[in-house]
Structure 1
Amino acid sequence: MRSCPVVSVEAVVPAGFPSPAADYVEGRIDLAEVLVPHPSASFTLRVSGHSMVRAGIHDGDLAIVDRSLTARHDDVIVAVLDGELTCKRLLKRGARVWLVPDSDDTAYRPAEVTDRPDFEIWGVITSTIRLHRR
């Protein structure tokens, strides 16, 4: 994987108030190292839809998915269900498992996936990237 060093600024930036950042330059960080700690087990997907907006994941975001992580309760995951890829929150209660949207839109419904042969976890979403200027 290619390195991506970027200047690191150690400062809190209030939204809407300009602040000269030059006084706070701390060094460089490697975005690839921060965003993709397991490059050989990671991939990206473009998110489509609005079922995860409360989780901060929006239509068009680029999701970084790590296959080396074991999915835990409340993780946001990428899974296959009924032959289709989906991005949902994984909820576990005892032996029961659900894929749950994170949206206020009632059109998106939880799906119980306990013991379903057509359900497979592909990986855990560790971060997303949203472009603000296209």
Structure 2
Amino acid sequence: MSCAPAIPASTPIPLRDLPRPVQLKVVGAAGAGFPSPAQDWEESAINLVDLLRLDRAASFVFRVSGQSMLDAGLFDSDVLVVDRDAKPVNGRIVIAVVDGGFVVRQLCVRNGIPTLEARNSRMHYDPVVADESVEVWGVVRASVRNLQA
């Protein structure tokens, strides 16, 4: 049982104060097509905090809830690494505050008008105009998925 205070699922989690992580041993390169001849490729350990740049004050983590971004490769319960200080530009996946809640959407600029668009061709979601009532909170930099869930 954890002694840490419960954090509501909708609250961004700052990462800079977490203890240093365990180093993960790299076994080797695994070919995703043909078997890899790069067996001499040697790296002793991976630090996920360094790899995902989680030790920055502007890095936060969100958990995806829902199906609106399936076509962008983001699935329910995926973990997103979000940078607050990255510039939100056309085509980026962002976290935004819409109607008082956080949503993950793709930022699209069409005819000079920025909109937040879902990416699920099997369902309809109305685009949201990113006007003064919408806050683009941060830019998604990475996602992590538990393949055993």
TM-score normalised over the length of structure 1: 0.81
Cα distance between partner residues in 1 of 2:107 and 2:65: 18
Verify: 1:125 aligned to 2:140, yes or no: yes
Identity of aligned residues (%): 32
Structure with greater helix share of residues: 1
Structure with greater strand share of residues: 1
- State the Cα deviation string for residues 33-76 of structure 1 (Å, max 9, x = none): 11125621011111100111111110011111110101111000
Displacement over 3 Å in runs of 4+: 21-25
Structure 1's unaligned 5+ residue stretches are: none
Verify: 1:14 aligned to 2:38, yes or no: no
| Alignment match of 2:46 (pick from 29, 39, 60) | 29
Structure 2's unaligned 5+ residue stretches are: 1-15
Higher mean C-alpha deviation, range 78-87 or range 92-101: 92-101
How many Å apart are 1:31 and its aligned residue?
1.2
Tell me what 1:92 maps to: 109
Give the 3-state SS of the residue equivalent to 1:126 in structure 2: strand
TM-score normalised over the length of structure 2: 0.74
How many Å apart are 1:26 and its aligned residue?
2.5
